[in-house]
Amino acid sequence: CEDELDQSPISSGSVPTFYRSATDFNQALSATYSVLRGYPDRELTLSETRSDNIYGVSTQGIRPWESVNNFATTLATSEYVDDAWSSNYTGIFRANVLLDQLAQNGSVLTDDARNRMEGEAKFLRAFYYFNLVQYFGPVPLVDKPLDPAAVRTINRTPVAEVYDLIIRDLQTAGDKLSSSYTGADVGRATKWAAKGMLARVYITRSGPTHGIDGPGRGTNDYAAANTLLDEIINSKLFTFLPVYADIFSYTNENNKEVLFDIQYISGGTGLGASYPSILVTGNYFNSVVANTSGFSTGDELRAASDNLINTYAQNDLRRAQALQVGFTVPASGSTPAVTEPRAAFKKYLDVPKRGSSRTDWSINFIVLRYTDILMMKAECVLKGGGAGDVDGIMNQVRRRGIANAPLVTGTTFDQLMEERRREFVGEGLRWHDLLRSPSAVNIMNNWIAADDIRNRMRKPINANDLIYPVPQSEMAASGYLYKQNPGYN
Amino acid sequence: VQARASFKAVAEWQLTGKVTSANGEGIPGVTVVLKGSTRGTTTGADGSFTIAVPESAGTLVFSSIGFLTQERSFTGAQSFSVKLAEDTKALDEVVVVGYGTQKKADVTGAIATLDASKLEERPILRVDQALVGTLAGVQVQQNTGLPGRGFTVQIRGNGSITANNQPLYVIDGFPLEAVSPNSNGNYANGSPLDNINPNDIQSIEVLKDAAAAAIYGSRAANGVVLVTTKRGKTGKPQISFNTYAGVSQAVRKMDLLSSEEWIERATELINGAWVRSAPGRSASDNNDVRRAALKLAPGAYDPGLMPDDRWSQPGHPGLDYVDWQDEIFRTGKVQNYQVSAAGATDNVNYYVSGNYTNQDGIVIGVNYKRYSARANMEVQASKRLKFGLNISPSYSISNDPGVEGKDNILQKLITTAPVVESTAGLNTNYGKFDRYLWANSNNSPYSLLTDRQQRSTNFRTLSTVFGELQIIEGLRFRTTLNLDNNDARNKSYVPNATSGGLGATGTFSAYRKQAFVNENTLGYNRTLFDKHSISALAGYSYNFFKTETDKLKSSGGFVNGAVTTLNGAQNISGTADNGTSETQNVLLSYFGRLQYAFDGKYLLSASVRRDGSSRFGENDKWGVFPAASVGWRISQESFMQAVKPVSELKLRASLGYSGNNGIGDYSSVPTLGIYNYVFGNALSTGQAPNIAANPDLRWEKSRTVDFGLDYGFLKNRIFGSFDYYTKTSSDLLLNQPVPGSSGFGSQLVNIGEVVNRGWEVEMNTRNLTGAFQWNTALNLTHNQNQVKHLGAGDAPIEIGTAAYGAASVLLQVGQPMYSIYVVEQTGILTQQDLDNGTPIIQGQTVGDPKYFDANGDGIISVADRKIMGQPSPKLVWGITNTFNYKGFDLSVLVQGQNGGSMYSLIGRAIDGTSMGYNQNVSGNQRDRWRSVDSPGAGIRGQARANFSPLLSSSWLYSTNYYRVRNITVGYNLGNVLNKRIAQGARVYLSAENFFGHDNYTGGYNVEATNSSNSSDGFSVATDYGGLPLTKSMTLGLNVTF
């Protein structure tokens, strides 16, 4: 009878009986990818809303993201900051467990499969660590599965050491991963995704330090980045799509621009995206298709800043794709027409193609695309990392946005970065791009001074604001082992 | 005919007589039986009887409830005069203890007893409701206003941080599966007391200290509640009919802004936004000026910057002003019917009952119905062998459109703007009706209540079959088989607020919970050499608990609104929302107990239980829980005989260990969760570890030391008890927050220690006897808990507040559990404060709340949080006064608590900092700061704030209250009723919750819990919109035939 005290879960698997077959390992890998699903929402808040792209000040009440937008010094308690820390570490944990199990039980896999899985796991681990470094600077470095009690003793590790792991992992991934996938494997990280991410890591690390312990280390890795970017360009596997809107079309996913994206499907399976509608209001939806307000996340607009709107030429197709400046819900019954003069972010919205709910959009989120490869290449060239036609890349990009845009010559770094802003608006890159500019703090302060008509933002901000605080919950859970980033309390 | 007559004349003697009580009054209904036969009769109204017996010498047996049975022999026809003595060993003198009964005088543990046999004389719907305010050391909270839902019961405070903190319920010896409320504070998966009909209950015993409870070992740390149902008694079969019907209403409405006040506030905010939106704009700009400036079309609005023109027009044409509370609260109704029959012969003892209750809640759409039946049967098969069967099927139907809790209808109701378009009326922003442009996106709470269908049904059968064999004199073997089968089915159909059935979501979920328990005990009771009373018990118990759940969810809406079952859904897909699951656990136990009394003076009891549970790690499955107690009945000593005023005096002391296994079934196993991803535009299943496993997980231990005193004075005109206890819980099962870099947020570990210390007083007085009787029962409990140890380095644990930034709850050594940890608001900032450099949160200005800079660093931040209160009250009390006069009875129950606080999220939602104009807000905002010249009450800041607020003391409320729970006036119709019609009858009128007071302005019910105020793993429940208590007036009738 006492044998009955040994009970195993009936309705869920458990670790002791898992990692025994190729299917098990595939599932463990999918679970490691699955953490990516929260990435776009996070970038729209912590990167886009933080930056000069969005003036996220509500007309009523105080919304949770406003502390991000307004540079509150109390950000350590923000749910968004908390999520950025814990989600990335969830992904890292799953990658660590998978790598550990591959080493122990990987013999059930073919060599090819084992290599590919190791590459994917390391790509993802590097991806999550890079996201952490970009937001927080030094973070505890955990590269194998450990008991929580052991993790509790690991302090924040210098950024340089974290970069070492990121670079090692991406190099391994670049060696081990396939060039491309077809059919049921579309969406997995490729060799080129790894190389492209590594280039992004290099130029990020090469950025200015701003005098803080952040992602920029001034390491001058532009040549290394340039080499990787050239490899990608020379592979000829990717193309610069001629029509900007085609990159983001619901019917043109996984197109030739895409090096890496996060995959979503609609259909109520819980695998849809929520990011397309988190910045807009129900009124925006109603202004497009009646009675669709339920597809918005809230009733407060996170509006595009005037500064962003004004950076575009009126006829820039990229603005038309990304922004709806002013919209009106027609009068209905006794309700008068409602006009919203501000600009809504609608880059990923195709209202007729909505899924079953506001979290059920099918559109993939592009993390890394070919245009970025080209523009990073231009950046490397400007920084002396190699040879290349910077003006050519600029004009190619500009003319896709504005037919017959006047050609530019002698492109400066600042011009390149402003072009990146127009090109990649809403793709989660703005804040990270700003950090690569030596004048990031000035750019922000000038913008805040001009655009903060409701006088809600902290001003002036300083270099400490370029990275986020360690979440308060992590400070507490570590027993205050971690030292808080300066400027936060 | 002749033959028969002659037979009778030859064969029978006529026996007659009268049965009287000690004071000479005739006793009706006394059973008179010829011993050894089935021949018998009962006495009439005056106590007289006639019985014919065969012509041979024999014995008559006279028996009646409350009197000692008497036997009288006869040798011929004769007349008897029988005086029955009252049974001094009345029922309340014996208490039920674990696995048996004990003379109250011999009890050495801390046991509180509730004589529940009179529960039917007052309208009670649940067993836990009966415990409110009646027992010392037992705190019962009514967390919900929904009828039929479980209360939380806490015995001697809360000793566990993560594991269950509710007592173990044992019904007629059947230990039910312990279930704790979820982190929202309610019983989503059923309370152990669901569907149990309180009218079937004879008595309730609460085992409070470990000495009394440790016989239940690993589940006894939170105390044990023993419920004993009714049995038939020898005597005339007793048939009872009890009924009541009544009406109820919300105890109170919340103070919210009226429509006019809401408009005043909205105008202030909108004009403020307009003025700030660009230089040169003035609050006096009319809407045409604003339209021109905003380049809007004629007639178009930007509601954030333009007020509704109709607000200022006389009679507000086209707009209706609505008081949502008036629209959705209604007069509830309750009715209850109970029929029971009880009786016993020499060989068979039975109690059967049927009950129906129906309660319409005080809110539209809320209803609860219950049908239940019970049959308790015992058969004395032979002198040595007894069998019994208790079976109690019940069925309940509960309708609740989703009223309580975060983002549910009550919260919407409170926050919905009190102004609507006349064309939409109560249906604003629902179906084809538009949202009022200046209102938030809440759908009409009225429409939600009338349109949504959420129904839970619960079919539960509790059954026990037992056999008892007397092996030799005093030695009994008893075996029981118990099954609790609980089938719950929930259906929900939620129409889409805009597209109705087409966008509706529907779910079906069900669970079957089964508890199977087999217990085998060997008991020995003997009195040796007159003075040594020995009682020994040994037993083995096997417990198997299984839960199966099923769920289905629609996707893609419904075909139309006519079919609300899931066959009408467009589709059912998605593994996360559809499927079945099972969990089970096994508990094995060996236990023994020895009780010894010498000369009724010196008392000793010791018990031990060894429990093994499948819930724990491989090496720590077993735990041993010993207990011992001693007692000294000083009043029995010869030197006390001279002290006449003291009728009873007993000292008790006990020490015991018990445990807690109230965690999930597989908490020690590293289980896998499902985390899917998409490849190739198709679902790709993912699995990964979902808990930080702990192979060393073991029992939570609890040690209780109890010193008690039982007293009785003046021939027990005053009697009661006093207890002082220290309950130390260690190796706490605690979901310790761990660094996120471990991949998890928390891990279930055995760390820490919590001490609950307190005293309890029970006092019963018979103030007046005689024709006018007045009795008082008072109970008073003080409990204070304190965290003694936590994990590594005793580091404080901040319990994250889900989605609200910094933690507002703290576990810290030396402080009460779940201390409320927030920034203190000290007033409103003035210009002088700013000039003086008073610390502020960045962005704060004149008119904003002023906070206390606890760490003195010159700015206000999370570092300035301090402990501002504790959730558990320090003092809980109840007083019942009963009066009897000439057939009238009056009973008044008053109860209350002091010293606790609640951090209310509904308070934050309606009384927060910088709430939008488009929602309604608390009446506290009426006295907000408006300007330097109109600073209001100095408590609430300006309507619009420009800073990110921290969790502050602004939403901290005292939970002190007193409440007149019940007033019942009854009249005994026995004196006016013909005994041929009924033996007894009583009518009563009962008023519940009519009077009381508390200071809770953040919500309706100071005890409400319906939402979690914590991240996963901690049970810090708070109010996010709970229904008010109901005040009800009920008329009832009890008849005995």
The predicted-structure confidence for A427-463, as pLDDT tens digits, reads as follows: 999 999 999 999 999 999 999 999 988 788 888 999 9
Q: Which two tokens stand for residue B565?
A: 């079952």
Is residue B66 very low, low, confident or very high in pLDDT (cuts 50, 70, 90)? low
Given this model, what pLDDT does residue B86 score?
67
- Look at A4 and B614 and tell me if their CB atoms are within 8 Å: yes
Interface test with B, best of A15, A32, A131 (most B CBs within 10 A): A15
Sort out which chain B residues have CB atoms less than 8 A from A453's CB and list them: 276-278
For the beta carbon of residue B92, count every other beta carbon within 10 angstroms: 11
Using CA atoms, how far residue B509 sits from B561, B571, B772, in Å, is 20, 16, 56
* DSSP reduced 3-state for B774: strand
Q: Mean pLDDT throughout B408-422?
A: 92
> Which of these, B442, B437, B439, lies nearest to B302 by C-alpha position?
B437
Distance of alpha carbon B134 from alpha carbon B114, whole angstroms: 8
How long is chain B? Answer: 1041
Distance of alpha carbon B151 from alpha carbon B712, whole angstroms: 33
Interface test with A, best of B309, B619, B678, B862 (most A CBs within 10 A): B678
Sort out which chain B residues have CB atoms less than 8 A from A336's CB and list them: 299-301, 437
Interface test with B, best of A3, A20, A27 (most B CBs within 10 A): A27
In this structure, which topology does domain A21-263+364-489 adopt according to CATH?
Answer: 1.25.40
Interface subset of A 432-461, CB within 8 angstroms of B: 453-456, 458
Distance of alpha carbon B953 from alpha carbon B901, whole angstroms: 11
* Residue A280 contacts B, CB cutoff 8 Å: no
What would you measure as the largest C-alpha separation in chain A, in angstroms? Answer: 85
DSSP B881-894: EEEEETTEEEEEEE
CA distance A75 to chain B (A): 9
| Residue range B472-499, pLDDT digits in tens | 988 999 999 999 999 999 999 988 877 6
Q: Which two tokens stand for residue B773?
A: 């009787």
Please report whether residue B55 resides in a domain: yes
Which residue(s) pair with B1022 in the sheet?
A: B1011
Which structural domain, as residue segments, surrounds residue B54? 2-83
On the question of pLDDT at B994 being above 60, the answer is yes
Domain boundary among B444, B460, B492: B444
What would you measure as the largest C-alpha separation in chain B, in angstroms? Answer: 123
Domain boundary among B83, B114, B129: B83
On the question of pLDDT at B945 being above 50, the answer is yes
* Residue A328 contacts B, CB cutoff 8 Å: yes
* Residue A345 contacts B, CB cutoff 8 Å: no
* Residue A32 contacts B, CB cutoff 8 Å: yes
Distance of alpha carbon A327 from alpha carbon B680, whole angstroms: 36
For the beta carbon of residue B210, count every other beta carbon within 10 angstroms: 33
Please report whether residue B23 resides in a domain: yes
* Terminal-residue alpha carbon distance, chain B: 36
Q: Which two tokens stand for residue A79?
A: 């749910």
Distance of alpha carbon B959 from alpha carbon B1000, whole angstroms: 7
Distance of alpha carbon B865 from alpha carbon B885, whole angstroms: 58
B669 DSSP assignment? S
Given this model, what pLDDT does residue B90 score?
42
CA distance A149 to chain B (A): 8
Please report whether residue B31 resides in a domain: yes
- Look at A140 and B793 and tell me if their CB atoms are within 8 Å: no
| Burial class of residue A51 (count of CB atoms within 10 Å of its CB; 0-12, 13-18, 19+) | buried
- Look at B297 and A339 and tell me if their CB atoms are within 8 Å: yes
Q: Which two tokens stand for residue B912?
A: 């927060």
Contacts of A103 (CB under 8 A, 6+ apart): none
Contacts of B527 (CB under 8 A, 6+ apart): B533, B534
Q: Which two tokens stand for residue B984?
A: 């007894």
How long is chain A? Answer: 489
Given this model, what pLDDT does residue B904 score?
86
- Look at A334 and B318 and tell me if their CB atoms are within 8 Å: yes
Q: Which two tokens stand for residue A335?
A: 């309700």
Task: Please check whether residue B242 is in contact with residue B690, taking contact to mean a CB–CB distance below 8 angstroms.
Answer: no
Distance of alpha carbon B487 from alpha carbon B510, whole angstroms: 7
CA distance B724 to chain A (A): 36
Given this model, what pLDDT does residue B802 score?
54
Distance of alpha carbon A196 from alpha carbon A225, whole angstroms: 9
Contacts of A371 (CB under 8 A, 6+ apart): A240, A247, A257, A397, A423, A424
Residue of chain B whose alpha carbon sits nearest to that of A15: B670
> Given the structure tokens 């996360």, which residue do they identify?
B576
* DSSP reduced 3-state for B261: helix
Distance of alpha carbon B199 from alpha carbon B291, whole angstroms: 69
| Residue range B557-602, pLDDT digits in tens | 888 878 888 888 888 876 667 889 999 999 999 999 999 999 888 9
Sort out which chain A residues have CB atoms less than 8 A from B278's CB and list them: 453
CA distance A381 to chain B (A): 36
The partner residue sitting opposite B441, judged by closest CB among A11, A97, A299, is: A299
Q: B237: cis peptide before it, omega within 30°? A: no
Contacts of B542 (CB under 8 A, 6+ apart): A1, B517, B518, B519, B586, B587, B588, B589
* Residue A73 contacts B, CB cutoff 8 Å: yes
> Which of these, B688, B670, B685, lies nearest to A96 by C-alpha position?
B688
CA distance B908 to chain A (A): 12
CA distance B402 to chain A (A): 19
DSSP B454-481: EEEEEEEEEEEEEEEEEEETTEEEEEEE
Residue of chain B whose alpha carbon sits nearest to that of A141: B741
For the beta carbon of residue B528, count every other beta carbon within 10 angstroms: 8
- Look at A74 and B948 and tell me if their CB atoms are within 8 Å: yes
> Which of these, B180, B177, B159, lies nearest to B169 by C-alpha position?
B177
| Residue range B786-822, pLDDT digits in tens | 999 987 778 888 886 655 567 788 889 999 998 999 9
Lowest mean pLDDT among A225-239, B248-262, B393-407, B429-443: B429-443
Contacts of B2 (CB under 8 A, 6+ apart): none
Q: Report CA dihedral (A29, A30, A35, A40) to the nearest 10 degrees.
A: 130
DSSP A236-304: T-----SSHHHHT-TTSTT-TTEEEEE----SSSS--B-GGGTTSBHHHHHHHSTT-GGGSSBS---EE
pLDDT by residue, tens only, chain A of 489 residues: 678 888 888 888 888 889 999 999 999 999 999 999 999 999 999 999 999 999 998 776 678 888 899 998 888 888 899 999 999 999 999 999 999 999 999 999 999 999 999 999 999 999 999 999 999 999 999 999 999 989 999 999 999 999 999 999 999 999 999 999 999 999 999 999 999 999 999 999 999 999 999 999 999 999 999 999 999 999 999 999 999 999 999 999 999 999 999 999 998 788 999 999 999 988 899 899 887 877 877 668 899 999 999 999 999 999 999 999 999 988 877 778 888 889 999 999 999 998 888 889 999 999 999 999 999 999 999 999 999 999 999 999 999 999 989 999 999 999 999 999 999 999 999 999 999 999 999 999 999 999 988 788 888 999 999 999 999 889 988 888 999 999 987
Interface test with A, best of B587, B677, B914 (most A CBs within 10 A): B677
The partner residue sitting opposite A341, judged by closest CB among B302, B671, B945, is: B302
CATH number, domain with residue B56? 2.60.40.4130
The partner residue sitting opposite B800, judged by closest CB among A12, A341, A473, is: A473
* DSSP reduced 3-state for B897: strand
CA distance B436 to chain A (A): 7
Please report whether residue B231 resides in a domain: no
Please report whether residue B765 resides in a domain: no
Q: What is the total count of domains within chain B?
A: 2
Task: Please check whether residue B166 is in contact with residue B173, taking contact to mean a CB–CB distance below 8 angstroms.
Answer: no
- Look at A30 and B806 and tell me if their CB atoms are within 8 Å: no
H/E element holding B910?
A: helix B905-911
Task: Please check whether residue B214 is in contact with residue B300, taking contact to mean a CB–CB distance below 8 angstroms.
Answer: no
Given this model, what pLDDT does residue B5 score?
42
For the beta carbon of residue B949, count every other beta carbon within 10 angstroms: 24
Residue of chain A whose alpha carbon sits nearest to that of B437: A335
- Look at A265 and B300 and tell me if their CB atoms are within 8 Å: no
Distance of alpha carbon A81 from alpha carbon A78, whole angstroms: 5
Chains A, B: CB contacts within 8 A come to: 346
If phi over 0 gives left and psi between -120 and 50 gives alpha, with beta otherwise, what is residue B223? Answer: left
* Residue A179 contacts B, CB cutoff 8 Å: no
The DSSP bridge pattern shows strands B224-229 and B168-171 to be: parallel
Sort out which chain A residues have CB atoms less than 8 A from B503's CB and list them: 294
CA distance A268 to chain B (A): 6
Q: Which two tokens stand for residue B673?
A: 């969760």
Given this model, what pLDDT does residue A299 score?
64
- Residue A161 CA from chain centroid, whole number: 22
* DSSP reduced 3-state for A67: helix
- The overall average pLDDT reported for chain B is 87
Distance of alpha carbon A132 from alpha carbon A129, whole angstroms: 5
Which residue(s) pair with B267 in the sheet?
A: none
Q: How many CA atoms lie within 13 A of A462 on its CB side?
A: 8
Q: Mean pLDDT throughout B975-1003?
A: 85
Distance of alpha carbon B138 from alpha carbon B141, whole angstroms: 10
- Look at B688 and A489 and tell me if their CB atoms are within 8 Å: no
Which residue(s) pair with B265 in the sheet?
A: none
| Residue range A260-313, pLDDT digits in tens | 999 999 987 889 999 999 999 888 998 998 878 778 776 688 999 999 999 999
Is residue B88 very low, low, confident or very high in pLDDT (cuts 50, 70, 90)? low
The DSSP bridge pattern shows strands B532-553 and B319-321 to be: unpaired
CA B766, B771, B773 angle in degrees (round to 5)? 25
CA distance B534 to chain A (A): 32
Which residue(s) pair with B633 in the sheet?
A: B650
> Which of these, B585, B573, B578, lies nearest to B550 by C-alpha position?
B578
> Given the structure tokens 């390149």, which residue do they identify?
A416
Interface subset of A 92-121, CB within 8 angstroms of B: 92-94, 96-97
ipTM reported for the complex surpasses 0.85: yes
Sort out which chain A residues have CB atoms less than 8 A from B422's CB and list them: 334
CA distance A472 to chain B (A): 7
Please report whether residue B11 resides in a domain: yes
Distance of alpha carbon B513 from alpha carbon B486, whole angstroms: 5
The fraction of chain B above a pLDDT of 90, given in percent, is 46
In this predicted model, which residue has the larger pLDDT, A1 or B244? B244
Please report whether residue B50 resides in a domain: yes
* Terminal-residue alpha carbon distance, chain A: 57
Using CA atoms, how far residue B521 sits from B475, B536, B541, in Å, is 10, 10, 8
Domain boundary among B444, B463, B495: B444
Please report whether residue B59 resides in a domain: yes
